[in-house]
Structure 1
Amino acid sequence: MADDLDQDAMAAAWEAEALGDGGGGGGDDAFAAEWEAMVGGETGKTISASAIGAERVLNQDEIDSLLGFDLGDDDSDEKNGIRGIINSALVSYERLPMLEIVFDRLVRLMTTSLRNFTSDNVEVSLDHISSIRFGDYLNSIPLPAILAVFRAEQLDNYGLMTVDSNLIYSIVDVLLGGRRGTTAMRIEGRPYTTIERMLVTRMIEVILQDMQAAFEPLKQVDFSLDRIETNPRFAAIARPANAAIMIKMRIDMEDRGGRVELLLPYATLEPIRKMLIQQFMGEKFGRDNIWEGHLATELWSTDMQVEAVLDELPVPLGRLLNLRVGETVFLNQPPDGSVELRCGQVVLTKGRMGKMGRAIALCLDGPLSNSARRELIKQ
């Protein structure tokens, strides 16, 4: 009887397995549909995440954002991704707020001076200020261009000014009486002539004079033109990895114009860095005139105990204990010898003992020593 039950159970199991194989057609249909969907995806159809798994392919915009590169905006100051990490060592010009005020003043001065220089309606605008590495800037200069190396005398360093070809031909056209409403003729593939170089040099000297006036409220800085170059290799004034500040300005003369770029290495601005970190002109961090006046008044009215030491000599303890009233102690100091004036253990100065009226006085031989002042401040 048990054998019959086992045989029936095995038969039922085989029947169920056979039915499962027969119903596998639906599974085959599902796999066929999945493969068809994958093949269809190659022709432009959308593949669901359940069909190909949870993997997600990044497009080109997302890859550029991850790496921090944006080909559509070369002048963008915002760096993110891997590029932001690489350029994180650059110091942002926003930490030097007074620098933007200086170049706003330069724009106003250049508008007036270039109008007088060209006898034309000139508009100067400040595009932007950014931080850049010196080597990257030299590689990004569009050629042909004229590069002016100028020296900041009081800062004992150099700066770089770049004039693009559009502005060069526009200045030559304006100064030599070209007609308005016509674009300047550009002849590519030839070096600049002597006349073009001289006219642009005069404009650069005008800009340098305006820079001197713009920096004058902070510090007297004389900017002088050192040399004119057309090859960026010969205009190297700093190491390629050094950080610098780039200022882009636009000069428009009605339907003509171009760009002027100023590059100032951080080594050039280092002597006046404390002035450039000010939020406004004349700012002094941590200064309070009312508190300073109160502190000075209290210091002048403070009592300080000082001692006039005639002389010091070693005495055995036994003799000191045996001293009697009226006994004379002989010092090594002569009558006209100098006496030390002390405050505690600090020697302030020296003087000579005397008498004024009924009081014993001390005539000082000199002012307080610097070491004494430092010790008093510490105390």
Structure 2
Amino acid sequence: MIDDEDLSEEERAAAAAWEAMANEGGDDDASGPVSNRVLDQDEIDSLLGIAGGGDGGKERPSGIQAILNSALVSYERLPMLEIVFDRLVRMLSTSLRNFTSDNVEVSLDNITAIRFGDYLNSIPLPAMLGVFKAEEWDNFGLLMVDSSLTYSIVDVLLGGRRGTAAMRIEGRPYTTIERNLVERLINVVLNDLTSTFDPLSPVTFRFERLETNPRFAAIARPANAAVLARLRVDMEDRGGRMELLLPYATLEPVRELLLQMFMGEKFGRDSIWETHLSGELWQTDVQISAVLDEFSTSLGNVLEWKPGTKLDLECTPQSMVELRCGEVQLFRGHMGRRGGHIAVKIQDRLMK
């Protein structure tokens, strides 16, 4: 047993603190220094992320709920996909002008990663949901056209007067004419989307069906991740919003291509530069060597060579001569004479 006098001042202070922690629980029959403190209801709610208060305002999640929701922003960034959407905006501006014969401006609001189930719950109704399939990737995507853009397209295509807001009747389903016109709009968008992916990976986006109820447009599991691009379409005093949603499972076949950094306007390819480079290469002067014969010898023999030393080559006037460019074997032929110059008549092609 260690006497208290043998302990240092720091050890006595640590022992006193330990004894104080052991006595915090009162006079309970505890076998060791265990704290009996119990969490109150507010602390439990904060840990579980349950919002308190009755003000009805939305609060940011905390605790375990915040940890679960943090997966919303943990998906990897796809730099090349942002370039695809930028090209889509430029192409759509031209295509929709030709489609509506009106001055149309398309802008990209943002690109975010979201869970598919959360997106279906956030769709403002009424809206039209176009389900399309990526043929080569064997998966689906979603294109949402909100009611404002729907009525604006109908108004423009059917000759509505400018300066008047699109009339919106609440509570009624979309008519057949409205559905057909929106389907034509979706086909225009999908054609441009196909063209934007062509330099990266050939793919065909084919329209499948048109839905007005988000429950019938479930193309992925609610917890699956997806990329959401919000597009704004303005036609002078009319317009609306489109949202293009591509699940990560749909983009998986081209994930490696989408991860690469953007290099040039044409996804790393510049046809003008390629044409110029190939044209200059055809006009480049290269040095070609005609090899009559070759043999191996030791370095010692080479050092003994003097002016007048003769090297015996095992070749005859009928032997084949090999033409090389550096270390690359190009052709093989017979040596002769033409117009006072030594020439080689090519017999075989060695390069592959």
Determine helix, strand or coil for the equivalent of 1:221.
Answer: coil
Out of 164, 184, 190, which is 2:146 matched to? 164
Given that 2:50 and 2:61 are in contact with CA atoms closer than 8 Å, whether structure 1 keeps it comes out as no
Given that 1:93 and 1:129 are in contact with CA atoms closer than 8 Å, whether structure 2 keeps it comes out as no
1:338-373 deviations in Å (ceiling 9; x for gaps):
xxxxxxxxxxxxxxxxxxxxxxxxxxxxxxxxxxxx
**1:254–1:145: structure 2 CA closer, same or farther, 3 Å change rule?**
same
Establish whether residue 130 from structure 1 lines up as the match of residue 115 from structure 2: no
Q: Distance in 2 between the 1:114 and 1:72 partners?
A: 40
1:296-332 deviations in Å (ceiling 9; x for gaps):
xxxxxxxxxxxxxxxxxxxxxxxxxxxxxxxxxxxxx
Query: Residue 261 of structure 1 aligns with which residue?
Result: 243
Structure 1, unaligned runs of 5 or more: 1-56, 58-64, 284-379
**1:117–1:83: structure 2 CA closer, same or farther, 3 Å change rule?**
farther
Establish whether residue 199 from structure 1 lines up as the match of residue 170 from structure 2: no
Question: How far is 1:90 from its partner?
Answer: 3.9
Q: What is the 5 A alignment of 1:19-34? A: none
1:69-125 deviations in Å (ceiling 9; x for gaps):
xx9999xxx998765522333465662111110000000000000000000010000
Q: Distance in 2 between the 1:270 and 1:159 partners?
A: 13
1:261-290 deviations in Å (ceiling 9; x for gaps):
01111100000000000111467xxxxxxx
Establish whether residue 147 from structure 1 lines up as the match of residue 129 from structure 2: yes
Determine helix, strand or coil for the equivalent of 2:168.
Answer: coil
Q: Distance in 2 between the 1:91 and 1:275 partners?
A: 21
Establish whether residue 106 from structure 1 lines up as the match of residue 93 from structure 2: no
**1:203–1:101: structure 2 CA closer, same or farther, 3 Å change rule?**
same
Question: How far is 1:146 from its partner?
Answer: 0.5
Structure 2, unaligned runs of 5 or more: 1-41, 43-48, 269-352
Q: What is the 5 A alignment of 1:215-364? A: 215-281=197-263
Q: Distance in 1 between the 2:140 and 2:175 partners?
A: 26
**1:177–1:93: structure 2 CA closer, same or farther, 3 Å change rule?**
farther
Determine helix, strand or coil for the equivalent of 1:95.
Answer: coil
1:21-54 deviations in Å (ceiling 9; x for gaps):
xxxxxxxxxxxxxxxxxxxxxxxxxxxxxxxxxx
1:121-171 deviations in Å (ceiling 9; x for gaps):
100000001111111111111111100000000111000111000000000
Q: Distance in 1 between the 2:192 and 2:121 partners?
A: 28
Determine helix, strand or coil for the equivalent of 1:86.
Answer: helix
**1:73–1:226: structure 2 CA closer, same or farther, 3 Å change rule?**
farther
The amino acid that maps onto 1:114 is: L
Query: What TM-score comes out, normalization by structure 2 length?
Result: 0.57
Given that 1:92 and 1:130 are in contact with CA atoms closer than 8 Å, whether structure 2 keeps it comes out as no
Q: Distance in 1 between the 2:239 and 2:63 partners?
A: 36
Q: Distance in 2 between the 1:223 and 1:105 partners?
A: 16
The amino acid that maps onto 1:181 is: G
Query: Residue 283 of structure 2 aligns with which residue?
Result: none
Instruction: Decide which structure has greater helix share.
Output: 1
Query: Residue 182 of structure 1 aligns with which residue?
Result: 164
Query: What TM-score comes out, normalization by structure 1 length?
Result: 0.53
**1:111–1:87: structure 2 CA closer, same or farther, 3 Å change rule?**
same
**1:193–1:268: structure 2 CA closer, same or farther, 3 Å change rule?**
same
Q: Distance in 2 between the 1:100 and 1:249 partners?
A: 13
Determine helix, strand or coil for the equivalent of 1:188.
Answer: coil
**1:183–1:225: structure 2 CA closer, same or farther, 3 Å change rule?**
same
Question: How far is 1:242 from its partner?
Answer: 0.7
Aligned CA RMSD, in angstroms, stands at 2.8
Query: Residue 316 of structure 2 aligns with which residue?
Result: none
Q: Distance in 1 between the 2:208 and 2:201 partners?
A: 21
The amino acid that maps onto 1:221 is: V
Determine helix, strand or coil for the equivalent of 2:92.
Answer: helix
Query: Residue 302 of structure 2 aligns with which residue?
Result: none
The amino acid that maps onto 2:99 is: F
Out of 116, 119, 139, which is 2:101 matched to? 119
Determine helix, strand or coil for the equivalent of 1:274.
Answer: helix
**1:83–1:175: structure 2 CA closer, same or farther, 3 Å change rule?**
farther
